Amino acid sequence: MFKGILINKDDQGYRAELSDIDDSILPEGDVLVSVAYSTINYKDALAITGKSPVVRNFPMIPGIDLVGTVEESSSDKFQAGDMVLLNGWGVGEVHCGGLAEKARLKSDWLIPLPKNISPQQAMAVGTAGYTAMLSVIALERQGITPDKGDILVTGANGGVGSFAIQILSSLGYSVVASTGRPEESEYLTSLGAASIIDRKSLSEPGRPLGKELWAGAIDSVGSHTLANVCAGIKYGGSVAACGLAQGFDFPSTVMPFILRGVSLMGIDSVMRPLADRTEAWSRLAEIVTPGQFDNISTEITLNQVISSASDLLEGKVQGRLIVKI
């Protein structure tokens, strides 16, 4: 038996509880991990609260991120004692995840924990920071360098947004942060934002083309926000789209793309190939310094997970929630 968050759906309804879980619930995998830390991402919060049909198999342990120590391994890639890291791969949705003391996983999903990143830092980064890094790499590959102009980051107070600001500013970019919480401007400035705008200027229906304002953007919001972002990108600029907090619709036109040569890139972090994961975490290991992400992460315990999931969906959480297992 081990402790963890368990989601069930049966005659009693949909519910998530902190439970004593039998080992038999763990699915097949060639590596057994003793989990040290996990996180609560937006997707985890949807799964725990049942606000969206994220979970497809029941019972399910949520948690799309984890870091821990290999207990047992029948894979030649890892051995007992190795520190490993996981993001995505349907874990917490179709395969039991990281919000528990144990996880049985496929070795193909795991990467070694980078040497200069602690387990706590790895989960402070988590899928949010990893996705932000993938987005920055995508902009770089499109030739969007710091000298090209401002980079807009939407959903700036969220996990992806917070990391995107820090990563971009550390690389020399001038960052414009869009937020629905202007009272927290000081926090965004401390992350490296050069200027801040209210999300209201982007969240309503807008014109097919607007003023050319930004060389690039990282958007975790979608819907009208993403449409307005694309309409305000400079000629030859690029947008990395990695979220849908406002909605999954995209009420735009082709005009930014065919009249200004704007590129729109979708950023998937769940099924990303191993080489891309390794590159992103290698870059993060170069950027992360001790204490750098302390101001955008809060550590909680398994006992606080369920209430914190609701707070996250209600916009009451700033930055990242690290769960100490």
Return mean pLDDT, the chain: 93
pLDDT at 288: 75
Tell me the mean pLDDT in the region 18-43: 95
| Contact status, residue 162 vs residue 189, Cβ threshold 8 Å | no
Q: Which residue has the tokens 């120590």?
A: 69
pLDDT surpasses 80 at 50? yes
DSSP letter for 250, please: -
Q: How far apart are CA 210 and CA 264, in angstroms?
A: 16
Could you give the 3-state DSSP secondary structure of residue 240? strand
Cα–Cα distances in angstroms (integers) from residue 210 to residues 14, 117, 199, 229, in the given order: 45, 42, 16, 9
Bridge partners of 17, per DSSP, are 6
Confidence tier at 96 by pLDDT (50, 70, 90): very high
The class that CATH gives domain 2-116+288-324 is alpha beta
Q: How far apart are CA 229 and CA 153, in angstroms?
A: 10
The string of pLDDT tens digits covering residues 120-169 is 989 988 898 999 999 999 999 999 999 999 999 999 988 899 889 999 99
Question: Where exactly are the structural domains of the chain?
Answer: 2-116+288-324, 128-266
| Contact status, residue 45 vs residue 118, Cβ threshold 8 Å | no
Cα–Cα distances in angstroms (integers) from residue 51 to residues 6, 128, 230, 295, in the given order: 16, 20, 29, 28
pLDDT at 315: 79
Bridge partners of 104, per DSSP, are 32
Question: Which residues neighbour 261 within 8 Å (Cβ) at sequence distance 6 or greater?
Answer: 235, 236
Q: How far apart are CA 188 and CA 64, in angstroms?
A: 26
pLDDT at 293: 64
Could you give the 3-state DSSP secondary structure of residue 308? helix
* Helix (H) or strand (E) run with residue 39 in it: strand 31-39
The string of pLDDT tens digits covering residues 209-259 is 999 999 999 999 999 999 999 999 999 999 999 999 899 999 999 999 999
Question: Which residues neighbour 241 within 8 Å (Cβ) at sequence distance 6 or greater?
Answer: 219, 222, 226, 264, 265, 266, 267
DSSP letter for 177, please: E
Strands 65-73 and 31-39: antiparallel
| Contact status, residue 54 vs residue 47, Cβ threshold 8 Å | yes
Confidence tier at 289 by pLDDT (50, 70, 90): confident
Q: Is 226 exposed, middle or buried (0-12, 13-18, 19+ CB in 10 A)?
A: buried
Confidence tier at 292 by pLDDT (50, 70, 90): low
Tell me the mean pLDDT in the region 161-179: 95
pLDDT surpasses 80 at 319? no
pLDDT surpasses 80 at 318? no
Confidence tier at 290 by pLDDT (50, 70, 90): low
Bridge partners of 29, per DSSP, are none
pLDDT at 240: 98
Nearest to 306 by CA among 45, 43, 2, 23: 45
pLDDT at 40: 94
Domain with residues 128-266, CATH architecture? 3-Layer(aba) Sandwich (3.40)
